[in-house]
Amino acid sequence: MNEKIKQLATAYADECHEEELELLRTLAQIPAPSGHEERRAEFIRDWLLAQGAPVGSVRIDDAKNVILSLPAGAGAADDGIAVFAAHTDVVFPDTEPLPLAESATRLLAPGVGDDTANLVGLLLAARYLMRNRIALDRPLLVVANSCEEGLGNLAGTRELFRQYAGRVREFTSFDLYLGMHVVSAVGSHRWRVMCHTQGGHSWENFGRDNAIEELCSLIEDLYAMELPTAAKTTINVGRFEGGTTVNSIAEDASVLVEYRSASEECLELMYGKFVGLVEEHLRKGSRIDVKLIGRRPASGERIPAGQGELIARTDEVLRELGGVTPIHQESSTDANIPLSLGVCAHTVGTVEGDLLHTREEWIEKDSLRRGLAVILALMLAHATDVGSH
C-alpha cells in the first residue's frame, strides 16, 4: 500500500487515541434503538459541526441518517460517489443511558463493538479529511446510518440509496470486528405468525384448539421442510409468545420466523414453501395470520464492476495496518442494499472484541488505534495528493 498513507494513518490514530476513547465513552452511553436513533444523530451532527464541518455540509435526513458531504477536488472525474458508513443503532430497546464499564484494557457496553466503536473511528477519520482539506478524486459521503439492526430492515441505507439513486459507485460500511471482511450479502425474509382460537378453561373446555399447540405444529413442520441446496439456506424461530395462565387454553400466540440465504432464488423458493405451509395449516382449521415484517436482499447475480479491486485493496490495508489476516464472509449488513443493486460494496470490521448482541459486549481499547488507521487509509485511497500532509 501507499507508504505515505500508511504513515499518515498510523500517526493520526496514535495522536488522537485518548480523544477517540473519550468520544466512544460518550457515544456508547447514548441510547439508540432501531428507529429511535435521534439522540445519537443529533450528537453526531453537532460534533461534526464543532469539528469544522461547513454549514450545509452535514444534515440529518428523514430516516435519521447523519450525512456529511465532502466535495471532489478540482478536476476530479464525474464518475460517482464513494460512501463510508457505520450504523448508529443498537439491538437493545433502552431509552435511558446505556451502562458503560471499563478496565485497564477493555470498554464494555451494549453495542460498543456493534457498532459504536467503528462509528467513532469513522467520525475521526472524517475529521482528518475536513481539517486537512484533502483533495478527493470523487465526492465522498460519510454516513452515520440508522436501522441496521433487527427489524430496522436496513431502512437507513435504503433511504440513502433512494436519495442518491444511480450516483453511488462504491460503498464501504464499518461494522463488527477486525479481520471480518463481508464481501457478499445474505438476504432474509422475516415473518410474524399469529394464531387465534376460542380458548377456554383447561378442564371445562378441554379439547378446544390451543393457539400454542397450533403454532407448535406449524413450527414442527417448518423445521421438517426440505431446504433449497443451491446456496446455504437456514430457518429459525426466534421468539414465541402467547397464552395467559397454566389453566387456560391459549387463545392467542405468535412467533417470529426468519429464513436466510445468499441466493435470491433460494429466498424466493423459501417464500413459496413457507406460504404453502401456512396454507396447509389453514386448511386444517387453524386461524393463522402472517405478516412479512422484514426483507433484506441478497447479493445480485453479477459481481459488480470494481468489486475485486475494492476487496483486494481493503485486504492489503487490513494486513498492513490492522495486523490481521482478513476472512471473507457472507453476512447480512448495510452492504446488502448496494450489492443487491449491482454497486460494489463490502463491510469491514475495525476493532477487536466479542459478545456482540449481549449486554456484556466488549472491545479492546488499544485496537482502536489500528481500526482508525484502517478506516483513514481506506478513505485516503480517494485522495488525489497526500504528499503535502
Residue type, 225: M
Domain boundary among 245, 268, 296: 296
Q: Last residue of some domain: 296, 313, 345?
A: 296
In a domain, 388, yes or no: no
Reported as a single tens digit per residue, the pLDDT across 37-90 is 999 999 999 999 999 999 899 999 999 999 999 999 888 878 899 999 999 999
In a domain, 66, yes or no: yes
Is the predicted pLDDT of residue 381 greater than 60, yes or no?
A: yes
Residue 336 lies in a domain: yes
Report residue 221 as a C-alpha cell.
413442520
- Domain of residue 97: give its range: 3-186+298-380
| Domain-located, residue 387 | no
What is residue 388's predicted lDDT score, i.e. its pLDDT?
A: 55
Asked whether residue 285 falls in the same domain as residue 308, the answer is no
| Whether residue 155 has pLDDT greater than 90 | yes
**311 and 322 fall within a common domain:** yes
User: What is the arithmetic mean of pLDDT over 349-370?
Assistant: 97
Separation of alpha carbons 107 and 100, rounded Å: 7
Longest CA pairwise span in the chain (Å) = 85
What is the rounded CA–CA span in Å between residue 74 and residue 81? Answer: 15
For residues 214 and 351, membership in a common domain is answered with no
Last residue of a domain, one of 296, 317, 338: 296
**Same-domain status, 175 and 199:** no
Of all residues in the chain, what percent are helix, strand and coil, respectively (each to 5)? 35, 25, 40
Residue 389, pLDDT score: 57
Residues 177 and 191 in one domain: no
Q: In what order do the strands lie in the sheet with 180-185?
A: 58-60, 66-70, 140-145, 81-87, 168-174, 344-348, 180-185, 327-331
What cell does 138 get? 470523487
Which residue carries 417448518 as its cell?
222
Please enumerate in sequence order all residues whose Cβ is within 8 A of that of 45, keeping only pairs 6 or more positions apart, or say none: 58, 59, 60, 66
Q: Would you say residue 386 lies in a domain?
A: no
What grid cell was written down for 84?
A: 463510508
What's the chain's length in residues?
Answer: 389
C-alpha cell at 331: 453476512
Q: Say whether both 133 and 267 belong to one domain.
A: no
- What pTM value is reported for the model? 0.93
Whether residue 21 is found in the same domain as residue 67: yes
pLDDT, residue 234, reads 97
Inside any domain, residue 389? no
Residues 6+ apart with CB under 8 A from 207: none
Q: How far is CA 36 from CA 70, 93, 112, 145, 367, in A?
A: 26, 9, 17, 12, 29
Distance in angstroms between the alpha carbons of the first and the last residue of the chain: 17
Q: What is the spatial distance between Cα 52 and Cα 352, in angstroms, rounded to a whole number? A: 30
Residues 164, 192, single domain; the answer is no
Report the alpha-carbon distance of residue 219 to residue 132 in Å, rounded.
58
Domain count, the chain: 2
CA-CA-CA-CA dihedral for 295, 301, 302, 308, to nearest 10: 60
Q: Are residues 163 and 218 in the same domain?
A: no
Instruction: Report pLDDT digits (tens) over 233-287.
Output: 999 999 999 999 999 999 999 999 999 999 999 999 999 999 999 999 987 767 8
**291 plus 349 within the same structural domain:** no
Distance CA 318, CA 323 (A): 6
Domain at 274, CATH number: 3.30.70.360
Say whether both 166 and 130 belong to one domain. yes
| CA–CA separation, 82 and 138 (whole Å) | 7
The CATH number of the domain holding residue 34 is 3.40.630.10
Percent of the chain with pLDDT over 90: 93
Q: Tell me the pairing of strands 353-354 and 362-364.
A: antiparallel
- DSSP code for 176: S
In the block, which residue shows the cell 481493503? 314
Q: Tell me, what DSSP letter sits at residue 327?
A: E
Task: Flag whether 79 is in a domain.
Answer: yes
Distance CA 53, CA 42 (A): 14
Question: In the prediction, which pLDDT does 283 show?
Answer: 73
In this structure, the answer to whether residues 157 and 199 fall within a common structural domain is no
Q: What is the pLDDT of residue 79?
A: 87
Q: Is residue 364 part of a domain?
A: yes
The pLDDT tens digits for 37-47 are 999 999 999 99
